[in-house]
Structure 1
Amino acid sequence: MEQMLSAPSSPVRPDPIEAEDVLGPAVPEHPERTGLKGDRVQGAFHALSQMVNQLNQRLHFAEQELKDEMHSSMSPSVEPELEQCMAAEVLQELQAERAERSAMAEEAAERLSVLLESEVTVEELQHELTQKDQEASEVIEIGCTLAQELEELQAERAERRATAEQTE
């Protein structure tokens, strides 16, 4: 568990795409132009789609990492039923969290489309991406906390068993 908490998060969180690299400068080259049109809007939506997909991929990697960590931390003395019950419970919580984050990402996509139509700046896009990255980090932290709680519950159960065996 300590390895999971101290391990670098680079495999889970690759370098973010800079919005300006994908969208180009937000300031129109021609001042008479009042908004993003045509190819620029499609490019912006494509970039947003890529960013949302990357966030979903990060969440998926975090879930997979948590599942792998839970699997490797299970001791052989844990009953299979307890293992399935706890893993299912944690997985359900992670899936609910992922669905919530996905809904938030869709909401952000809608807000971003409105912003793009009103000439959003690169700084605003970077701020939005930073928020989503922070939210993904929070999901990873929640996963780590849940894994740690599972480990503590297993240790507590082992102690209870040992106490029960000693009293018999």
Structure 2
Amino acid sequence: MSIFVGKHALIDAFSELVVLVDGCMTAGVQLSEIRNVPIFSYILTGKQADALREICVAQGWPIPSNRGIEIDVRYIAHVLQSRDTKDQVDTSFVTEILTAAYCEYGIVEINKTRNQQAIVINATKKIPLNGAKYYGMAIIEVQQEPTGNVKLAPKTAYHATEAKLRGIQNKKNN
């Protein structure tokens, strides 16, 4: 078990989890077979939580019970498989997408195409790939559990062009 503390803790946590999941997938190990499954949570900043709360109120969605987004092996496997299938990018680029999307500078916008989903966008850090620059984005969903608890669930993460970023931000203003 690793405990991450300090400025680079999130990068280290994502890196270790991506390497672990990629290694298991490459070796044909089922995620359900991993013992002592590592997880961690990204905690939205106060500003991000306030923006999400405003979106929830405006859309009539339930308000999340806390600011944590649990990152687990299933989520990482989904992002790895999606980015490999759609974009043929390697694990280090996936780690960059994740660490860019989940950062204290990320802004929260509504995902207009899906119900109860928001997008966390890093509009400051550019990620280079094949001579182009991208931004990290994560899709999160506001989910109400049968117990009544409302949580934030990660759905996917990807890289987006500046045009896509502007399009999302413009939709907010329309």
TM-score (norm 2): 0.28
Q: TM-score, normalised by structure 1?
A: 0.29
Which protein, 1 or 2, shows the higher relative CO under an 8 Å CA cutoff with sep ≥ 6? 1
Which of these two proteins has the greater Rg computed from alpha carbons? Answer: 1
Name the one with the larger strand percent.
2
More helix by share: 1
